[in-house]
Amino acid sequence: MRRLVALLSAGVLVASLAASSVSAAPAAPATSLVANFQAIDGQTQEVIGRVTAQLFEPSAKRLVPGFYDFYGVPGYPVRESHAQLGKVDFWYDAAAGNPGGYEGPPNFGANVAYAEGVICDYTEPNVPNCHPIFLWFVDVIDPAGRVDYLDTNTYTPTVGEWDGTSWDVGKGSFVLTYAAP
């Protein structure tokens, strides 16, 4: 009988603790980007690395608006890049999904997540090359438009010029949600 009472008591205790620890998962921000995908060179269509990024609207509780990291494939000139982001913005662009950047009609709309900050590129250990960066993550809404892509614009101090590149989103995850204000 003692064993039965002990077993029932333990069952009640476990059930009450389990019920009290169950809570709803935090809601994803209405406007955000969560990405972990293969970066594909926009011209050669070769995989050049992996991008991981999270962008969200900052708040008093979460001041830093996210992160961006890049890991190059063996043989790619940049082995790793890590950015400290200082500003993000989100919007809808009626023509950002157009193939080749042409102006429609027809136009293929896209949601855009923009970030700016400072990025450090590494080609060898402990030797960073840090410079400003601007990022545009583009989620093309209409499948008839171009594939999702990432445009970057970086300042190269050694050359003294801005350099823009465009990478297509390859295998992996790319979730950009935008709730218009």
Give, as one character, the DSSP assignment of residue 56: E
User: Where do we find the tokens 């509780």?
Assistant: 61
Residue 51 pLDDT class (50, 70, 90 cuts) = very high
Backbone angles phi, psi at 138, to 5 degrees: -125, 120
Enumerate the domain spans of the chain: 31-177
Task: Measure the CA–CA gap between 132 and 116, rounded to whole angstroms.
Answer: 8
Span 135-172, pLDDT tens digits: 999 998 887 777 888 888 776 666 666 777 788 899 99
Task: Measure the CA–CA gap between 98 and 144, rounded to whole angstroms.
Answer: 9
Looking at residue 149, its pLDDT comes to 84
Task: Measure the CA–CA gap between 62 and 65, rounded to whole angstroms.
Answer: 7
Span 58-114, pLDDT tens digits: 889 888 999 999 999 999 999 999 999 999 999 998 888 877 666 667 778 889 999
